């Protein structure tokens, strides 16, 4: 299947808001509703769209995100699979890396002691196969839209932000078991109709509509996206770590603003314990990425002290909804 501009526009609209209707997308793309429905199904069948995901601000639910890099040693493929399978039961995000590290994981925990118990248990099982590891705590994460799909030179869309802004009051929101059931259904089926969600969890469509609206209002639901197979699209996924110098708040905001509007940035992350800036790019080739790095270094030569990059090659798990117990 060769994608034309209309296919890319549909992908972009689904990346902006996967819950918008076929009719709404049709109006923006300039084709019929039936043609939109057919093309979306074709994109799914051909493997360009894996599923439709709901983005959550998990920190609003009282969870901290512990990001951990691992470097292996003495590991063959069966042992690597065993390690990844163990992590799948506990981590929310697992990605294979080429470069300085072998694996990147994200684990949501309510406190540092919960994370300590998980990492200690992991090391009891696999310490002979871990050369080193590095832990950071994610405090803020910008989720950008893929403006590169329609070949824009600068982003015009706004990012969805997970975490808390320092200018706003820190507040954990309460949810109940019904909210959680709705989030669990929406997590990998963001386009599911409210009537079907209601039928699945045993309630009414009116209640589902109200609950989703309230979860958005509380800032728990950030948005609805299509989980795109970028390899199928012909893109490569890079992560760039930047160490800064001669830093002021104004200078940092300037480089962040540059990354915010770059058409190929997908995420930028603020952490405690990580590098000053961590950002991720999806590009068509190594050379394109190298050119972006060159431009970035040239533009901000006075504040970039050092940098390193790695390539993401396989995403094993991705979810922002941790397990929660409502029986207590």
Provide mean pLDDT across the span 145-170. Answer: 86
CA distance 33 to 37: 6
Is it the case that residue 318 has pLDDT exceeding 90?
no
Contact 307, 242 (CB under 8 A): yes
| pLDDT on residue 168 | 67
Is it the case that residue 291 has pLDDT exceeding 80?
yes
Provide mean pLDDT across the span 257-261. Answer: 93
CATH fold for domain 59-139 = Alpha-Beta Plaits (3.30.70)
pLDDT in tens, 195-207: 999 999 999 999 9
Supply the mean pLDDT for the chain: 93
Instruction: Write the DSSP symbol of residue 4.
Output: -
Domain map (residue ranges) of the chain = 5-46, 59-139, 141-164+232-315, 174-218
Percent of the chain whose predicted confidence (pLDDT) is above 70: 98
Is it the case that residue 288 has pLDDT exceeding 70?
yes
| pLDDT on residue 328 | 54
Instruction: Write the DSSP symbol of residue 189.
Output: B
Is it the case that residue 148 has pLDDT exceeding 90?
yes
- Looking at beta carbons, which pairs linking 209-215 to residues 24 or more positions away fall under 8 Å? 211/178, 211/179, 211/182, 212/182, 212/186, 215/175, 215/179, 215/182, 215/183
Give the CATH class of 141-164+232-315.
alpha beta
CA distance 148 to 321: 28
Is it the case that residue 188 has pLDDT exceeding 90?
no
pLDDT in tens, 14-71: 999 999 999 999 999 999 999 999 999 999 999 999 999 999 999 999 999 999 999 9
pTM: 0.91
Place of tokens 């390539």: 311
Q: What is the CATH number of domain 174-218?
A: 1.10.10.10
Domains 59-139 and 174-218 share a fold: no
For 111, residues 6+ apart whose C-beta sits below 8 A from its C-beta are: 64
At 156, the pLDDT band (50, 70, 90 cuts) reads confident
- Looking at beta carbons, which pairs linking 143-147 to residues 24 or more positions away fall under 8 Å? 143/55, 143/222, 143/223, 143/225, 143/266, 143/267, 144/260, 144/265, 144/266, 144/267, 144/268, 145/12, 145/15, 145/16, 146/11, 146/12, 146/15, 146/228, 146/266, 146/282, 147/12, 147/263
CA distance 40 to 32: 12
pLDDT in tens, 101-132: 999 999 999 999 999 999 999 999 999 999 99
CATH fold for domain 5-46 = Arc Repressor Mutant, subunit A (1.10.10)
């Amino acid at each position: 299947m060769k994608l034309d501009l209309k296919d890319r526009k549909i992908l972009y609209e689904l990346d902006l808001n996967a819950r918008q209707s076929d009719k709404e997308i049709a109006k923006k793309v300039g084709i019929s509703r039936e043609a939109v429905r057919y093309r979306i199904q074709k994109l799914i069948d051909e493997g360009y769209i894996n599923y439709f995901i709901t983005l959550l601000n998990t920190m609003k639910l009282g969870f901290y995100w512990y990001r951990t890099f691992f470097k292996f040693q003495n590991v063959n493929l069966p042992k690597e699979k065993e390690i990844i399978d163990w992590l799948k039961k506990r981590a929310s995000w697992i990605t294979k890396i080429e470069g300085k590290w072998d694996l990147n994981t994200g684990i949501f925990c309510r406190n540092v002691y919960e994370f300590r118990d998980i990492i200690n248990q992991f090391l009891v099982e696999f310490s002979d196969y871990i050369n080193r590891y590095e832990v950071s705590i994610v405090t803020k994460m910008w989720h950008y839209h893929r403006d590169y799909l329609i070949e824009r030179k600068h982003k015009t869309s706004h990012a969805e932000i997970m975490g808390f802004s320092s200018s706003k009051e820190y507040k954990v929101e309460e949810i109940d078991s019904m909210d959680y059931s709705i989030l669990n259904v929406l997590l990998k089926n963001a386009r599911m109709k409210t009537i079907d969600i209601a039928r699945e969890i045993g309630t009414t469509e009116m209640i589902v509509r109200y609950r989703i609206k309230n979860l958005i209002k509380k800032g728990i639901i950030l948005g609805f996206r299509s989980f795109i197979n970028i390899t199928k699209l012909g893109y490569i996924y890079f992560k760039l770590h930047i160490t800064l110098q001669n830093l002021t708040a104004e200078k940092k905001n300037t480089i962040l603003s540059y990354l915010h509007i770059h058409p190929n940035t997908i995420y930028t992350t603020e952490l405690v314990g990580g590098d000053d800036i961590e950002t991720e790019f999806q590009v068509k080739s190594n050379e394109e990425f190298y050119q972006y790095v060159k431009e970035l270094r040239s533009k901000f030569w006075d504040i970039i002290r050092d940098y390193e990059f790695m390539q993401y090659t396989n995403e094993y798990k991705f979810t922002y909804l941790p397990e929660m117990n409502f029986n207590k």
